[in-house]
Amino acid sequence: MHTYRAILTKRDIRTFADKAIPDDVLRKILNAGRMSGSSRNSQPWHFVVVRDRARLKTLSGFGRFAQHVATAAAAVCVVLDSPRAAFDGGRCAQNIMLAAWNFGIGSCPASMHRHDEARAFLGAPDTHAVITVISLGYPHPKGRGAVERTALRILAGRGRRPLASLVSWELYGAGSPGI
Ligand SMILES: Cc1cc2nc3c(=O)[nH]c(=O)nc-3n(C[C@H](O)[C@H](O)[C@H](O)COP(=O)(O)O)c2cc1C
């Protein structure tokens, strides 16, 4: 898939088919995360991959809107060396999700509101942080299910704001002729 097209068409998917992700594809997805840039190339992440159904269910309990984790084919838990590496973690997570989408695999982040319990459950050191878990799975052939409809109800809005409302030139609020 063309990169720009992957970026424009990647929507967060929370309803997954009951289909495993082949190991070689999962490996490529994780490698996309590994290749992400980070501040001073510090690479402050470690990926815990959860595929065991019972553990996915438990993991989904650590987030208020993480029901989709329970039904995912796999969850990639981006464990950060410190909460201060959140932006690095975000870059890494986006690369993982875009690479997955390139292979036709849907994904959605899940915030771990009970992040200390999530970290302990994953066996990560208490100096580390598990801010986001990424659900991965092939999109369900019947499309959006109940989990999705619930999630969509809490969203601040659908779609994206117009580009012109998001861009300023040289100074905040300054428009640009013709762009
Ligand atoms: C930092 C972050 C945390 C998120 N946490 C959750 C979450 O806990 N549960 C959930 O269902 N979606 C979560 N999302 C997904 C957002 O709801 C989604 O990106 C947004 O609604 C746009 O979705 P769309 O690309 O499908 O339009 C999160 C997204 C981000 C960037």
Ligand 1 centroid to Cα of residue 109, in Å, is 6
pLDDT of 156 higher than 90: no
More confident residue, 98 or 174: 98
Please tell me the predicted confidence (pLDDT) of residue 177. 66
Where does the chain hold its CATH 3.40.109.10 domain(s)?
Answer: 3-142
pLDDT tens profile 25-69: 999 999 999 999 999 999 999 999 999 999 999 999 999 999 999
Which numbered atom of ligand 1 lies nearest the CA of 155? 21
- CA distance to 44, 45, 53, 173, 176, per residue, from 76 (Å): 15, 11, 14, 38, 41
**What whole-number distance in Å separates Cα of residue 5 and Cα of residue 37?**
21
pLDDT of 133 higher than 90: yes
Residue 101 CB contacts under 8 Å (≥ 6 apart), including other chains: 1, 6, 9, 10, 107
- CA distance to 33, 34, 78, 156, 175, per residue, from 111 (Å): 18, 21, 11, 16, 35
**What whole-number distance in Å separates Cα of residue 101 and Cα of residue 153?**
24
Region 131-156: what's the mean pLDDT? Answer: 81
pTM across the whole model: 0.94
Ligand 1 centroid to Cα of residue 158, in Å, is 11
Residue 155 sits at φ, ψ, to 5 deg, of: -70, 150
Specify the residue with its C-alpha closest to ligand 1, atom 17.
155
pLDDT of 150 higher than 90: no
Please tell me the predicted confidence (pLDDT) of residue 78. 97
Give the mutation target among 111, 153, 161 for probing the ligand 1 site: most ligand atoms within 8 A of CB. Answer: 111
Specify the residue with its C-alpha closest to ligand 1, atom 22.
12
Percentage of the residues of the chain whose pLDDT score is greater than 90: 80
Please tell me the predicted confidence (pLDDT) of residue 116. 96
Please report the DSSP string for 85-128 in residue order: GHHHHHHHHHHHHHHHHHTT-EEEEEE-TTHHHHHHHHT--TTS
* Banded model confidence at residue 74, pLDDT cuts 50, 70, 90: very high
Would you give the end-to-end CA distance of the chain in angstroms? 28
pLDDT tens profile 90-119: 999 999 999 999 999 999 999 999 999 999
List residues near ligand 1 (CB under 6 A). Answer: 11-12, 14, 63, 65-66, 68, 108-111, 132, 151, 155
Considering the domain delimited by 3-142, tell me its CATH architecture: 3-Layer(aba) Sandwich (3.40)
Mean pLDDT of all residues belonging to the chain: 93
Of 61, 91, 59, give the one whose Cα is nearest residue 77.
Answer: 59
**What whole-number distance in Å separates Cα of residue 179 and Cα of residue 166?**
12
Question: For residues 47 and 33, is the Cβ–Cβ distance under 8 A?
Answer: yes
Burial class (CB in 10 A: 0-12, 13-18, 19+), 153: exposed
